[in-house]
Amino acid sequence: KTKGFIFDLDGVIVDTAKYHFLAWKNLANSLGFDFTETQNEQLKGVSRVESLKKILAWGNTTVSDDKFQALMALKNTEYLEFINKMDDSEILPDVPRVLDYLIENNQGVSLGSASKNARVILEKVNLLSKFKTIVDGNDVSKAKPDPEVFLNAAKSLHINPEDCVVFEDSVAGVQAANTANMISIGIGSKAVLHEADYIFNDFTEISTDFINKLINN
């Protein structure tokens, strides 16, 4: 049977949180306040607009709409400087093994990411060709935990949501998958991702046996 396997990008395929952190921290510092790793954690899976809103609120700062747009652009320019230096050494362990196994077994493989930079990142790490379809921050109007991104990914694969599996590292993403009636697989800590149907620290823990069960159930 053909199932849909939908991958989040940031934190699942590559660890870009460190680059988001550096870019947001510089921006916060330029506005006169600090930005911590703990705060950065809370931005996982959160869109760029919503992230900036949260950061400004944490810094007790308000800006005009024009300035808000300028800050978003500034952050992304700096973020892209880090992204442009990426290569396939930054792919998280065993992600290619799982992708290749799914492709060899004729499964639908799609990307479901909040990022508007998803394609450029996949290109940098040489994984663009592995995805049959890509649904990213340019294609959706509602951010995770809204299920829109994953429902669109299922539609793009022509596979029913109930036959889809989502790999996610963020709480919002796990909730989005659950709301979409998909199997949610949390990649990260059990304490954080406890709402997921299954949780693994990383892809090295995901066995061929386990994938076969997902395909055949």
Where does this chain bind Mg ion (CB under 5 A)? 8, 10-11, 45, 169-170
Query: Is 76:117 a contact under the CB 8 Å cutoff?
Result: yes
Nearer to Mg ion by Cβ, of 45 and 108: the residue is 45
8 in active site:
yes
* C-alpha–C-alpha distance, residues 72 and 56, integer Å: 12
Q: Which of residues 52-71 bind ligand G6P (CB under 6 A)?
A: none
Query: Is 71:63 a contact under the CB 8 Å cutoff?
Result: yes
* C-alpha–C-alpha distance, residues 193 and 213, integer Å: 21
Per DSSP, 212 falls in state H
Nearer to ligand G6P by Cβ, of 53 and 158: the residue is 53
Answer yes or no whether residue 10 interacts with ligand G6P by CB under 6 A: yes
66 in active site:
no
Return the one option of ligand G6P, Mg ion, none that residue 47 interacts with (CB less than 5 to 8 A, by type). Answer: ligand G6P
Residue nearest Mg ion by beta-carbon distance: 11
Q: Which is nearest to 130 in space by CA: 119, 114, 115, 116? A: 119
Q: Which of residues 19-48 bind ligand G6P (CB under 6 A)?
A: 20, 43-48
Tell which one of 115, 133, 175, 178 touches ligand G6P (CB under 6 A). 115
Query: Is 116:48 a contact under the CB 8 Å cutoff?
Result: yes
Q: Which is nearest to 15 in space by CA: 203, 146, 207? A: 203
Q: Annotated catalytic sites, by residue?
A: 8, 10
Contact residues for ligand G6P (CB under 6 A)? 10-11, 20, 43-48, 51, 76, 114-117, 137
